[in-house]
Amino acid sequence: MKQKLLDTFKEKYGYDTGVNVYFAPGRVNLIGEHTDYNGGHVFPCALTIGTYAAAALREDRKLRFYSMNFEEQGITETSLDELTTDIKLGWTDYPRGIMWAFEGRGLKITKGMDIVIYGNIPNGSGLSSSASLEVLTGYMLSDLFGLNVSNKDLALIGQYSENNFNGCKCGIMDQFASAMGKKDNAIFLDCNTLEYEYAPVKLEDARIVVTNSMVKHSLVTSAYNDRRNESAEALRCLQTVLDIKSLGEINEAEFEANKHVIENEIARKRGKHAVYENQRTIKAVAALKNNDIVTFGKLMNESHDSLKNDYETSCEECDILAETARTIDGVIGSRITGGGFGGCTVSIVRNDAVEIFKEKIALVYKEKTGITPEFYVVDIGDGPHKL
């Protein structure tokens, strides 16, 4: 992969000296969806697929970007003097946003760069290609300019950039999972305090299988931001009777005892999901620590049902994938993962059932939607690094 990037870099820019190559992973969230911006817990892990960059410093302030995923777009040329939110340049807005956020923190970027990007996360799959690109850019800038930015700060800068430069009110989970990934471990993260612990994922007789619905979504949409606003309304109502700063601070019983103050039915459903999903995540991590994979799977299933019925971020295609998965012997749990409105499901499948799982899901899904899904039997990998 490194050689492929270096070859493309030389072909596009005409030189290959002083070029460094970097990687940052995508992520899959095992459980804890739409809890991050509600002050709850999440349980994601970094993947071994992600985004790569080959980059070299220039002597001027020019920025040149080329993506091997969007070859037809050619080289996008801009400069460090054009890092403003009112200039939109497609996919390059993500790395440009990180440069803008670095500058805003007083982390000076003094020279332009030539950059080649390649990602092997399927676009629109919900496996955080945007967060991966953000963390990758931050890690690359920190290395090229000797800025010594911590990986935790790379996650915070990525979230800030996506919120304020790209206009998506995402929580911290995606960037944190990419920046802080650790091989064979998921991250149990309290999004309220950013306290976290690594939990070994020991699936001795099972694999994590991600199924791509091939229905693409974009998180920079009104629907995602609507869910944030509706959850915030639920919180505001509960704050009239409870001394809380986030929905992640209460359990199911406290929610049920006070939900009557949330008069708007939609906001009540959004609040219910945030509270119950947070508690599910806490229980799921405890189950995993006790090697109780059956309970973990049951909680995954409940998570999907809540995302379908209460948070309404699933879609017909992902419902078909998750519900078909549950009918297959050897499937421990299955749910939609990521921001929703398309993308992927994540399933835990016993080793001897993986091939049957792929065959049956593909057959049923094609029959019902006319679409052929893609499957990724994934491994849990490390955070960003220089190759």
Beta carbons of 234 and 271 less than 8 angstroms apart:
yes
At residue 208's C-alpha, the angle toward residues 26 and 269, to 5°, is 75
At position 294, the amino acid (one-letter code) is V
Residues 6+ apart with CB under 8 A from 186: 30, 43, 44, 45, 198, 199, 201, 380
Beta carbons of 45 and 201 less than 8 angstroms apart:
yes
Options 174, 205, 319, 379, the catalytic residue: 174
Beta carbons of 53 and 64 less than 8 angstroms apart:
no
At residue 43's C-alpha, the angle toward residues 39 and 45, to 5°, is 130
At residue 176's C-alpha, the angle toward residues 173 and 178, to 5°, is 110
Residues 6+ apart with CB under 8 A from 155: 135, 172, 175, 176, 178, 179, 180
Q: What share of the chain is helix, strand, coil (3-state, %, to 5)?
A: 45, 20, 35
143 catalytic? Reply is no
Q: Tell me which residues are annotated as active site.
A: 174
